[in-house]
Structure 1
Amino acid sequence: MSIKSWVDEIADLPNKLPLRIVLIVPLMLLLTGTVGIVGYLSFRNGQKAVNEVSTQLRNKIVRQIEEKLNTSTKAAHTVNRLNAIALARGDINIADARGEQNFWQQVEIFPTVTFIFCGDVKGNVLGAGKIGGRKLQSWVSTASTQYVPYYYSLDAQGNRTQELEKGTEPFNPTVRPWYRAAVAAGEPTWSDIYLVVPTFDPAIAASLPVYDPETRKLIGVCGTDIFLPQQMSEFLKSLNVGKTGHIFIMERSGQLVATSANEPMTTGQDENTRRLLAAQSSNPIIQATAQQLSDRFGDFNRIQTSEQFDFNIHNNRQLAEVTPFKDGYGLDWLIVTVIPEADYLGQIQANIRDTLALCIVALIAAFILCVLIARWITKPVLSLNQSAKAIAAGKWNQVVHIKRSDELGELANSFNGMAQRLQTAFAELQTLNQTLAQNETRLQEFLEAIPVGIAVVDEAGCPYYVNQRGIQLLGQGIDSSVPPEQFSEVYQIYLQGTNQPYPTERMPLIRALKGERTTVEDMEIRQSNARIPIESWGTPIFDQQGKVIYAIAAFQDITERRQAEKLLADYNRTLEQQVVEQTAALRESETEVRTREQELRMLADALPVCIFYTDHNHRYRFVNHACAIWFNRSRDEIIGKLNCEILGEAYERIKPYIQQALAGQTITYEAELFYPSGNKHISAIYIPDFDVNAQVKGYYGLVTDISDRKRAEAASILEERNRMAREIHDTLAQAFTGILVQADGATQVLTDDVEAAQFHLELIDELARTGLSEARRSVSALRPQLLEEGDLSSALQRLVTQMRSVTDTTLIYDVQGTIYSLPGEVENNLLRIGQEALTNAIKYAHAQEVRVELGYDDAHCRLRVKDDGQGFGVGSVPGSGGFGLLGMSERAAHIGAQLNIRSQPGRGTEIVVIVNRAGEI
């Protein structure tokens, strides 16, 4: 822009300003400038005076504090040097607790000193002073006191008078901070500030290492305690620091050493007492000053020279100064003074306030006068201006009320007439716009609700509208500056499956601008690494003259449709192939299954045993030819029927075995059952059938007719009995007959011929022994049937009754369950086992009580004999010989029974025999 243009712009500026501003602002600027300059000069002069006075006062205070610190600290080091000389010369003997009068005198001479002491390398300590505000006392901790501290009161000459207190634990000076600090420094030094027990007041110790003059070996350390923090705090309070100013001394760590505020320098109680940080002070000025120092310098160690600064607390300016203090012996503290500026301003501020008040009053009066004059001049003009603006903003009901007859009054009347006509026209236009807006809103809501992308362009191809779904598919908003020929490039539209941009002339939207309605499915939009297949429709919109004024393109993502089409095609091909393969395999399998089934049926029908399958509902699902013969029915009459319907009365006999098979157990048993084809001795096995979930879904049964075998066994037993009868007749009967004959002969000659009688008796003895031997041989060769007079239960009852008559032992017999018959061989062996167990309990175990129990249940028969006799170790039972326990074991094994023998010496014996019921008759 040229200089002339700038000049013209500036010259035209007054024409652009409001009339009221043109009238008021120039005068107000002149008045305000005058008042501001006067007030500023007054303020600057007052502030300069305040800074000078504040600096002088702070410097004076710092010098006083430094003098006080130097005086207090030098006394402690002077005392240490005197005591070190006395200790090296032997005037002070710590081990013998001699020399404490020196300490007493020094405490009296130096009032700032609190406590004086010396400790040697062996752990002895000697000292004197004031502890906790008490009178003078001495402190002794040596080998003679087992290093436990003793405290004594001192008289006016420094002599001990009485024991005041005794410590509870040994005291080792070599581990104390004052001792270690002196040894580490090798020269006079200060300890850290610590809390004195039991008052927990802060104190500091000056310490000095003492060396042997000849060997230069360490003798010990002399130290002097002073309550410097407390003394300095009292001194700081005595200084005049303005009206509300404060002084505090702190370490480089930020912990308070002394303060002019009435507050403790520690926090907590007793053993939990801790020193207070300046930033934790209860005094808000000290706390804020410490925080300002931390914010300005970060690390307090960076403060090496005196620094002045100011800050605000609640809009009150504070003038502060920080000065480092070092004494040459290790003290490195910061002296901080802070004085509110208000303490110095006084009359200066009062004068400034009066001046400013007068200026402000004059300024306000001038401003009010200017405003009133300008308002009278500009009010009609502003009223017309506001009404015109309101009409321009659409507020048509404007009426200007100006009660004047000059030019402004005429202008107001003309304005009111124009406003009335505009209001009428606007009302009609507003009605039309509302109707149009409602229609447009409904149309836009409809387009946004459509789940496909919608894009509208005008006749020139410039984008007019795109719904949100369209923006999502395009991956970006519509740029109205993009020409139609660049649509493919800008919006990443490609021919599907290629890297070729979609031809502009084929786009449905472009073709719609030519008046064509088209649909395509070969478009593809790319977003990042994704390719979105698109189906698009183009529709032209015509005006009344048939000219295209808009074109609408609808487009949608057909990814899922393409995937579904591909999956469907792949699935159809795969399914067709699988159908062909599985059909062939199924036919082959059906043929093989039918062949195998036919072979199995033929095989099952050829077997002379009954084979069947029963489901979990107790219904027959398969029977072979032998079953049909046994039941005297056809297969169709058996298949689907219940077991109980086909078996009749026999079902109750074998029901327990069926239940066990359906419970998942493989069962074998022998029984005599009635079949329509006649009674049969059978041997059966039931095998459970499980499904994939290990649940029983039925069982297979195989039943064999063993009637011929049973008849053969009975014939064999009968033949054996006949043989034994003959043998007994030929042996035992002959022996007993011979015995009778010889007995008669002996009777006849007994009185006449003693020798002949003796001969007959010897023959009788020989015949008896021969008969007994034959009887034993018969027993060993064959164990005969001994249950001819009843079943097992009654036989055991008779056995117990017989035993009661010949013994004092208490015999108890008990039968449990419903009694049923077992095969004779089983009952005979159970009886013999019970007889043997009962005999052993009475004869060998010397039992006081023997209990015999016979129990029957659905699956087992159990014989139990228990006594309270001597018992024995089961492991010591002999393995052979006799008919005792070995005979029991043989009998149990012979009938397939389970024999359990439990016994302990002194605790009796229990014999249990369990046999399956499968062998019942």
Structure 2
Amino acid sequence: MPLRVIFIVTVISQLIAAVGLVGYLSFRNGQKAVSDLASQLRRELSARIERELQGYFAIPHDINRLNADAFARGDLDVIGGTRGESQLYQQIVVSPTIAFVYCGSEQSGEFFGVLRSPDDGSVVVSYGNAANQYLRNYYRLDVSGNRTFLLWQADTPFDARTRPWYRQAAASERAIWTDIYIAFTTGLPNITAALPVYDRSGRRLLGVCATDVVLPEEFRSFLRNLEIGQNGQAFLIDRDGDLISTSTDEPLMIGNGEDAQPLPAHESSNELVRESAQYLLSQFGSFDSIRGAQQLDFKQSGQRQFLQVVPFRDRYGLDWLIVVVVPETDFMAQIHANNRNTLLLCLITAGVAIAIGILTARWITRPILKISQAADRLAKGDQVESISPSPVTELDTLASSFNRMTGQLKSSFDALRIAEENYRSIFENALEGIFQSSPEGEFISVNPAMAKIYGYDSPQEMIESITNIGEQLYVDPEKRAEFKSLFVNQDKVQGFEYRCYCKDGEIIWTQIDARAVRDSAGNILYYEGLVQDITQRKQREDELRKQLEELKIEIDHKKREEEVATLTASTYFQEVKQEMAEVNLDEFWS
């Protein structure tokens, strides 16, 4: 790969990696910051809703305690309906979340209370007792809480003791909350705080005082005014999963009148409320299983949603769930915009860096390229001109060194060329055979004298013809194995003699003086050495050997003749001979 490309790729890769890492870390930090912010926002909103609920639903019980005390003292005439409306009026005025304040008597079911008119919001006193046959009369109250004129009278008798709020409080013998129901006066879902009233002995039930809270209107306005991101929602559900209040505008009841039923949160028309409720059901199995505050997140339409659910309980029996859900996109919009700007800046930076990198690479690599090209020409043996100086100190030093090296190499090449010519002359004109052969049995090089010894017309012919020295050249193949075995423990072999075949099949004697050339690991790379034709010497040796044998035979024959002559000339031999002559052979054998 060209140095210029390596330089550019390296610089750009580092730049892109650095920018990408910074961008990634920035994005991840942004996400973490969003998660932290969403977590804080959910906690803050849940805490605000919880505080609002505590205040919202604590006031009715405080009012009930005041009215129960007044009822027990007689300041609040529940049975006769003659006095006490001014106290209830003040409670309605100072507590805008309260819809109806009233008490019922245990004596005959008498009723006395003050409510907000559902028509114009004016304050009205209502009572029913024996004086009006328990048909409740409704009077308008002035700004002082005094009755002014009769508005209307109910058509049917009313017995407070039959109402759910009365029965539940009397049966519990303590302050309670009723279930959510539809108020017959307003047609809206209500919840009632009820408190049984006893005489001063605490044994006899005098009646029940109660306060109505209209859920959707007052508390819903509070939820709507919460800043829950751009698209976040907050809603309140009971343990059955029915909506109690929500920051949306959808109706909280299904049906009309007495047949109206609370709307289940998982059937809400608002997608965020519906998906949040369904996610909670899938996570916990039922809303009743949620016992502590939970911070969760889930995907809706591919978008992450931050959710917090907090149980809300009080000592009077309320057990609801506060749910706050905020889409991640409400927080990520600015981060995504920053990411787009970062990406654009990264692209611009990368483009500028690439351009600068290319120009810088060209400026730096041009002298190096010249040196590289000059070195390539030098390796091919071409004439090389001196490299021009460079403004870069290191490259200028490199150019100067290259120029000096070129001069030294030229001198060395000239010397080597002379040495090579001398070596080639010796190699070509030597009277002895010179060879190089591989351990596998092939000739690497031979000189003309070597080829001539074996009867080949040229060295090339011999190299091409002999592919297995042990089989094609050696008369006795075991001598080739012996030759190779000698190099196991030594690097030189001298005076090794063997018989070999010539090109025409003639057998001659040769003598080799060779050495093994090894690599750094000690493995034999090849053999090289000198070969002499010793056939004539061998023949002379054979003739001398024969002459010596014949001379030895002749010497032995003469020696025996001399020994025989000496023996026959001895006195002992003559005496034996005389005795033998005198022996009668016939008598001897008989």
* TM-score bucket (shorter structure): 0.5 to 0.7
Q: What letter is aligned with 2:110?
A: N
Paired positions, count: 341
Letter in 2 for 1:158: G
Is it true that 1:190 corresponds to 2:174 in the alignment? no
- 1:361 to partner: Cα distance: 11
Do structure 1's residue 226 and structure 2's residue 213 form an aligned pair? yes
Determine if contact 2:75/2:84 at 8 Å carries over to the other structure. no
Partners of 1:83 and 1:329 in 2: CA distance: 17
Aligned CA distance change for structure 1 residues 267 and 118 (closer, same or farther; 3 Å): same
Corresponding residue number in structure 2 for 1:123:
109
Letter in 2 for 1:123: G
Are the equivalent residues in 1 in contact too, given 2:189–2:216 (CA < 8 A)?
Answer: yes
User: 1:647-671 CA distances to partner (integer Å, 9 max, x unpaired)?
Assistant: xxxxxxxxxxxxxxxxxxxxxxxxx
For residues 143 and 92 of structure 1, what CA distance do their matches in structure 2 show?
Answer: 17
2:198 maps to what in 1?
Answer: 211
Alpha-carbon distance in 2 for matches of 1:50, 1:231 = 32
Question: In the alignment, is the contact (CA less than 8 A) between 1:202 and 1:230 conserved in 2?
Answer: no
Aligned 8 A contact 1:87 1:93 in 2: yes
Distance in 1 between residues matched to 2:301 and 2:213, nearest whole Å: 39
Aligned counterpart, 1:876:
none
Q: Percent identity?
A: 42
1:113 correspondence with 2:90: no
Read off the aligned partner of 1:156 and give its amino acid letter. V
Alpha-carbon separation, structure 2, partners of 1:307 and 1:91: 48
Contact 2:111–2:160 (8 Å) recurs in 1: yes
Alignment of 1:365-444 (within 5 A): none
2:110/2:160 contact within 8 Å kept: yes
Residue 76 of structure 1 corresponds to which residue in structure 2?
Answer: 60
Change beyond 3 A, Cα 1:31–1:215: closer
Using the size of structure 1 for normalisation, the TM-score is 0.35
Q: Which runs of 5+ in 1 are unaligned?
A: 1-28, 365-921
Cα offset for 1:328?
1.9
Which one-letter code corresponds to 2:264 in the other structure?
Answer: L
Q: Which has the higher contact order (CA 8 A, sep 6+)?
A: 2
For residue 237 of structure 1, report the CA deviation from its aligned partner.
Answer: 1.1
Alignment partner, residue 327 of structure 1:
314
Kept in 2, the 8 Å contact 1:35–1:360? The answer is no
Partner of 1:46: 30
Partners of 1:137 and 1:152 within 8 A in 2: yes
Q: After the TM superposition, which segments of 4 or more aligned residues of structure 1 sit over 6 Å from their partners?
A: 29-36, 357-364
CA 1:170–1:363 in structure 2 vs 1: closer, same or farther (change >3 Å)?
farther
Tell me the alpha carbon deviations over residues 796-846 of structure 1, each in whole angstroms, 9 at most, x when there is no partner: xxxxxxxxxxxxxxxxxxxxxxxxxxxxxxxxxxxxxxxxxxxxxxxxxxx
1:123, 1:94 → 2: CA distance? 10
Structure 1 residue aligned with 2:165: 178
Whichever residue aligns with residue 60 of structure 1, its letter is E
Whole-Å separation in 1 of the counterparts to 2:32 and 2:143: 59
Q: Counterpart of 1:58 in 2: which secondary structure?
A: helix
CA deviations 1:418-458 (Å, max 9, x no partner) are xxxxxxxxxxxxxxxxxxxxxxxxxxxxxxxxxxxxxxxxx
* RMSD between aligned residues: 3.1
Cα deviation code 1:379-436 (max 9, x no counterpart): xxxxxxxxxxxxxxxxxxxxxxxxxxxxxxxxxxxxxxxxxxxxxxxxxxxxxxxxxx
- Which residue of the partner structure matches residue 87 of structure 1? 71
**1:331 to partner: Cα distance:** 1.5
- Segments of structure 2 that go 5 or more residues without pairing to the other structure are 1-12, 352-590
Q: Which residue of 1 aligns with 2:271?
A: 284
Deviations 1:217-261 (A, max 9, x none): 111100011224321110111111111111111111211122111
Distance 1:234 1:140 in 2: 31
Q: Are 2:143 and 1:156 aligned? A: yes
| Paired residue secondary structure (1:263) | coil
The residue matched to 1:346 in structure 2 has which SS? helix
Q: Deviations over 1:48-103 (max 9, x none)?
A: 01001111112221222222222222221111111111111222232211333221
Shift of residue 283, structure 1, vs aligned partner: 1.3
Distance 1:290 1:98 in 2: 50
**For residues 181 and 297 of structure 1, do their structure 2 counterparts lie closer, same or farther at Cα, with a shift above 3 Å needed?**
same
Is 1:56 paired with 2:9?
no
Match of 2:88 among 103, 106, 128: 103
- Shift of residue 299 of structure 1? 1.5
Cα distance in 2 for partners of 1:359, 1:305 equals 46
* Equivalent pair of 1:153/1:164 in contact (CA under 8 Å): yes
Assess, with a 3 A threshold, how the Cα gap between structure 1 residues 34 and 158 changes in structure 2: closer, same or farther. Answer: closer
Residue 411 of structure 1 corresponds to: none
What are the equivalent positions in structure 2 for 1:773-812 lying under 5 Å apart? none
Match of 1:247 among 224, 234, 239: 234
Instruction: Tell me the amino acid that sits aligned with residue 231 of structure 2.
Output: T
Which of 169, 173, 177 aligns to 2:156? It is: 169
Match of residue 346, structure 1, among 320, 333, 344: 333
Inter-CA distance 359–312: structure 2 relative to 1 (3 Å threshold) = farther
Q: Does the CA-based 8 Å contact 2:182-2:258 persist in structure 1?
A: no
C-alpha deviation, 1:42, in angstroms: 3.8
Distance apart, 1:163 and its partner CA: 2.4
Counterpart for residue 307 of structure 1: 294
What is the rounded CA distance, in whole Å, between the counterparts of 1:198 and 1:84 in structure 2? Answer: 23
* Matching residue of 1:423: none
Call closer, same or farther: CA 1:272–1:154 in 2, change over 3 Å: same
Q: CA deviation at 1:315?
A: 1.1
1:274 to 257, 261, 269: 261
1:336-358 CA deviation, whole Å, 9 max, x = no partner?
Answer: 11111111123322233445578
Counterpart for residue 139 of structure 1: 126
2:99–2:115 contact (8 Å) kept in structure 1: yes
Contact kept in structure 2, 1:248 and 1:257, CA below 8 Å? yes
Within 1, Cα distance between the matches of 2:343 and 2:294? 33
Q: Is the 8 A contact 1:119 1:221 kept in 2?
A: yes
Counterparts in 2 of 1:215 and 1:272: CA distance versus 1, 3 Å: closer
C-alpha distance in 2, partners of 1:333/1:159?
A: 39
Q: Does 1:66 align with 2:19?
A: no
Alpha-carbon distance in structure 2 between the residues aligned to 1:292 and 1:79: 39
> Aligned to 2:75, what secondary structure does the other structure show?
coil
Give the deviation of 1:167 after TM superposition.
Answer: 2.2
Cα distance in 2 for residues equivalent to 1:236 and 1:108: 22
Q: Distance in 2 between matches of 1:198 and 1:210?
A: 24
